[in-house]
Amino acid sequence: MAGKQQRSAAEAPIETSVSALSARRPDAFAHVLFSWRQWWRQAVVATVNQAEVIEKRREDCAMSARYMFMTAMSAGLAILGLLLSSPAVIIGAMLLSPLMGPIIGLGFALAIGDYGWLRQSAKSLAYASLMAIVFCALVVFFSPLQNVTPEIAARTKPNLFDLLVAIFSALAGAYAMIRGREGTIVGVAIATALMPPLAVVGYGLATWNWTVFSGSLMLFVTNLLAIALIAALMARLYGFRTSLSERQTNLQTLVIVTAFIGLAIPLGYSLYKIGWEANTSRLLQAEVIDEFDGRARISAFDINFEADPIEVSATVLTPKLVNDAESRAGRIMSRKLGKPVNFTITQYQVGTSKSAAEQAQLASARAQEDAAVQQADQLAARLALLAGVPDDDVLVDRQRRRAMVKASELDGATLAAYRTLEDRIAKTEPDWRVELIPPTRVLPKVEFTDGKLSDKGKGALGVAAWASKRLDLPLALTGPKAELDSAVAALAEDGLENVATTETRRGSLSLSWDESKP
């Protein structure tokens, strides 16, 4: 009994110390948190001239002729870069985009609860976005290039990386605005997340492609909301409060809160969908690997979430082929996801060493690159042979899959003959855009039968339109009004506009190069 009392007495100080330490831990944490808040307010927030920042941001949100013009020019460059699949042109469009001002202003207006500023920013952004969409749609409508390029396809569906681009852009943009370090680079970061998707919306509208239109619009809205909300959170973090704006009525405050919630709902849905697809993609890839041993590697992987059932296509490099891997993986993932999943797994047997799969994958990539180079070299050789020039005179762009050559003078060859040569090469390479630039020749005669344009005449005008585009030389028509109208309409069908015409009372239609224009 005495021993127990002695042990209790000895343990009492220990228990008291533990209790005291436990009691002090919350106080210590609260003290650290309080100290950090004090430091943030004094060393960071106090150094920001909030009134000056707000005044400057208000000026950037104003809708002006310069703002609309620069938005239109940026949109025009962006859609041309997308149609040409040229990242360099798209980056050039970003340098002109003025969208950063109203977007960041939208976030700041939400942060301080300024209804008037919020309305002004939203109005400027809405008008500029609508104008950019219509302008891009017009460019696409009148453009001879309307194919869905890789740059366009990449902006038809939001994914996790697109959202991260928007978030990082918003963090950089808001910080630069608050600290007074805004510049061209930050504007490019904001425009990168918004202008290309906006241009693709215009492309989808012009081509009546609902998949492209809806997908790019969802990407644009997702990025816009993410940037605005991140900017609002950054502004609140740096101490921007309602007291810095004019007095707000209860109705205005209610409208602002409603707008904030309205922005958060579609963004939350997009985040949920993006997160679900990212997690599902990870699970599907893991399931493919689980069907093989640890030495297997995935060489290619693609998922179509829009299909029903979900379609998964995978290429696996494995030392040992596995039978029935597709059906087994499909059953397991259908059970896990609660949705039907259809797997297509292509297996290639490789060596048994640990690095064999990686080596095979690299070898496959090199083989594909070598095949592309060989294809381009063969195309260049054929073009050079037909054009009568050395191989080095053929310009080949493998990235855009485009080949161009200026043909030499061939005895007795007409413009129709040069066009036939181009068509012959183009048919052998349907994935390439082949352009053979002919030497300047006399244009073909346009024939009419009983006052109507004959088939031979239509063919002559088609050759003339082709030569005009290749040589970048305008055409001129001279003749009676009825024949002029028929010829102009035929040239318009071949994509050639703005043809110079001279009306005469007598004679037949003549076609020539327009020497009056440089």
Of 248, 272, 300, which residue is a domain's last? 248
CA distance 211 to 156: 8
CA distance 344 to 291: 13
Of 207, 232, 248, which residue is a domain's last? 248
Angle between helices 184-207 and 65-84 (to 10 degrees): 70
Give the model confidence (pLDDT) of 493-509 as tens digits.
887 777 888 888 777 88
More confident residue, 58 or 359: 58
Q: How many domains does the chain have?
A: 3
Whether the per-residue pLDDT at 209 is higher than 50: the answer is yes
**Among 243-252, 267-276, 422-431, 483-492, which range has the highest average pLDDT?**
483-492
Q: Are residues 191 and 57 in the same domain?
A: yes
Inter-CA distances, 476 with 21, 497, 511, 513, Å: 95, 11, 6, 6
CA distance 233 to 178: 12
Of 384, 407, 437, which residue is a domain's last? 437
Q: Are residues 91 and 233 in the same domain?
A: yes
Q: Are residues 226 and 127 in the same domain?
A: yes
What is the pLDDT at residue 323?
81
The amino acid present at 91, given as its one-letter code, is: I
Q: Are residues 476 and 374 in the same domain?
A: no
SS3 state of residue 388: coil
What is the pLDDT at residue 21?
42
For residues 131 and 71, is the Cβ–Cβ distance under 8 A?
yes
Residue 293 included in any domain: no
Give the model confidence (pLDDT) of 60-102 as tens digits.
777 888 888 988 888 888 888 888 877 778 777 777 777 777 8
CA distance 170 to 162: 12
**Share of residues in the chain with pLDDT > 70 (%):** 77
Residue 431 included in any domain: yes
Q: Are residues 137 and 164 in the same domain?
A: yes
Give the model confidence (pLDDT) of 433-474 as tens digits.
888 888 887 788 888 887 788 888 888 888 888 888 888 788
Task: Give the domain CATH number at 424.
Answer: 3.30.300
Task: Give the domain CATH number at 142.
Answer: 1.20.1080
Whether the per-residue pLDDT at 150 is higher than 70: the answer is yes
Give the model confidence (pLDDT) of 420-431 as tens digits.
878 887 777 777
Burial pattern 360-390, b for ≥16 Cβ within 10 A else e, equals bbeebeeeeeeeeeebbeebbebbbebbeee
Q: Residue 328 class from Cβ within 10 Å (0-12 exposed, 13-18 middle, 19+ buried)?
A: middle
Burial pattern 280-313, b for ≥16 Cβ within 10 A else e, equals bbeebeebbbebbeebbbbbeeebeeeeeebebe
Give the model confidence (pLDDT) of 99-143 as tens digits.
777 888 888 887 777 778 888 888 888 999 999 999 999 998 888
Residue-range definition of the domain harbouring residue 426: 360-437
Residue 401 included in any domain: yes
Residue 288 included in any domain: no
**Across 230-234, 360-364, 472-476, least confident range:** 360-364
Here the tokens at position 290 are 């689980």
Q: Are residues 51 and 167 in the same domain?
A: yes
Q: Are residues 422 and 452 in the same domain?
A: no
Reported confidence tier of residue 262, pLDDT bands at 50, 70, 90: low
CA distance 492 to 513: 17
